[in-house]
């Protein structure tokens, strides 16, 4: 589903954020991406989301070379990808329910079906009672849970999440992780960037470790990540 071959990313006027990263993520996998702040986790997710081009190397997404996807085709590729990114904010002038409904409306679902799905998703993140509120009146953690509900709404083929539990207390963290697990069980490929080691220890999944832009290790053992 995602293949990187010697991918390097340099931002103008900066050292490389990613250096020669080669990595393959198969359909249906659940992968943690970890490493210290500045290791390149967000950059890697942005490259996969076609939000930034690689400076060198090759990235294949759904079997396509992303460098060859035209700008006008990117929105269509992104329809298969749900994202929970720090800088993909909720729309402040739409209610919580409308925010979650948006990706379903884009896909042309019937209003009745949209209402049913939105209600179920908000229930699953414990925010049914906030459906008619506007995001700025919610706490950071609540907004994050709405973002997760919005990303999962269309049952995307791929979910990219950047520190999706960063603002949450332990109980809410487990709820959000359960949601990501549920999505994965239904077939969504999930890539979660986190520096929360307790998550890596709790959920024994594949752990890809980045260090200063390089792939340090890749495996299902958390010992590699924390050693």
Give contact residues for ligand ADP (rule: CB under 6 A). 11, 14, 17, 35, 37-43
DSSP string, 117-129: HHHHHHHHTT-GG
Residue 14 tokens read as: 């900066």
41 vs 150 by CB, closer to ligand ADP: 41
127 vs 210 by CB, closer to ligand ADP: 210
In whole angstroms, the minimum distance from the beta carbon of 147 to ligand ADP comes to 17
| Helix runs in 92-196, H state only | 96-106, 111-124, 140-152, 170-185
109 vs 216 by CB, closer to ligand ADP: 216
**C-beta separation of 30 from 205 below 8 A:** yes
Q: Classify residue 125 by burial, with Cβ atoms within 10 Å: 0-12, 13-18, 19+.
A: buried
Rounded-to-integer distance, Cα 104 and Cα 107, Å: 5
Residue (of 92, 99, 103, 165) closest to 135 by Cα position? 92
In whole angstroms, the minimum distance from the beta carbon of 18 to ligand ADP comes to 8
41 vs 130 by CB, closer to ligand ADP: 41
In whole angstroms, the minimum distance from the beta carbon of 35 to ligand ADP comes to 6
In whole angstroms, the minimum distance from the beta carbon of 8 to ligand ADP comes to 12
């Amino acid at each position: 589903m995602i293949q990187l071959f010697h991918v390097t990313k340099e931002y103008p006027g900066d050292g490389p954020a990613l250096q020669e990263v080669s990595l393959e993520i198969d359909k249906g996998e659940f992968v943690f991406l970890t490493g210290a702040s500045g290791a390149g986790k967000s950059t890697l997710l942005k490259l996969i989301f076609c939000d930034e081009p690689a400076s060198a190397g090759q990235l294949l997404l759904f079997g396509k070379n992303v460098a060859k996807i035209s700008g006008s085709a990117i929105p269509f590729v992104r329809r298969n990808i749900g994202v929970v990114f720090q800088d993909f904010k909720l729309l402040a002038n739409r209610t919580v329910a409308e925010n979650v409904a948006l990706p379903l409306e884009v896909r042309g679902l019937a209003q009745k079906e949209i209402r049913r799905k939105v209600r179920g998703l908000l229930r699953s993140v414990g925010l049914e009672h906030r459906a008619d509120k506007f995001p700025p009146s919610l706490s950071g953690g609540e907004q994050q849970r709405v973002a997760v509900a919005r990303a999962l709404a269309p049952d995307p083929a791929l979910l990219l999440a950047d520190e999706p539990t960063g603002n949450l207390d332990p109980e809410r963290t487990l709820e959000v992780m359960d949601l990501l697990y549920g999505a994965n069980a239904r077939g969504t490929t999930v890539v979660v960037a986190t520096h929360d080691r307790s998550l890596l220890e709790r959920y024994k999944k594949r752990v890809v470790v980045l260090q200063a832009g390089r792939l340090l290790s890749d495996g299902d053992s958390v010992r590699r990540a924390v050693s």
